[in-house]
Amino acid sequence: AQSVSQHNHHVILSEAASLELGCNYSYGGTVNLFWYVQYPGQHLQLLLKYFSGDPLVKGIKGFEAEFIKSKFSFNLRKPSVQWSDTAEYFCAVTLDTGGFKTIFGAGTRLFVKA
C-alpha cells in the first residue's frame, strides 16, 4: 500500500541547532513531493515542493529538502532553527495513479527552545 513515513513524531531543539526531518514514501511510480507546515493557530501552508529538475529544493524561511529517488526519501533540513520555527511539519506525496491522490505523513512536532 502507498504510504508516507515520518521518522520523528516529536523533536525538541535549541535555537541555532541544525534540523533534519526524515520522510520516506512507498510508491514506485511518478510522485510529486511536498513539505507543509502548520504554525500554532494557523492553517497548513506550503513550505516547499519538488516535481522535477534539481532534486535539492529550497523553500521559505531557509528550509530546503533533497529528493533521493533511490532511497524514496525527501528529508527536510534547516541549518539553524529559530524559536519561530516551532510548528508541526507534514511530508506529503501526490501519486499519479490515473487520477491524483495526496498522502500525508503523520507529522512531526518541532519545538524550538529560545
Chain residues binding other proteins by CB under 8 A are 4, 6, 30, 32, 34, 36, 43-46, 49, 51, 90, 92, 94-107
Sign of dihedral through CA atoms 25, 103, 30, 46?
A: negative
CA 112 to chain centre: 17
Return the number of the residue (53 or 114) whose C-beta is nearest other proteins.
53
Which residue, 58 or 101, is less far from other proteins as judged by CB? 101
Length of the chain: 114
Task: Give me the least distance between CB of 15 and other proteins, in Å please.
Answer: 26
At its nearest, how many Å lie between other proteins and the CB of residue 54? 15
Measured from the CB atom, the residue of 32 and 86 that comes closer to other proteins is: 32
Nearest to 89 by CA among 113, 104, 108: 108
SS3 category, 24: strand
Q: Indicate the helix (H) or strand (E) that contains 101.
A: strand 100-104
* Least distance in angstroms from the C-beta of 16 to other proteins: 29
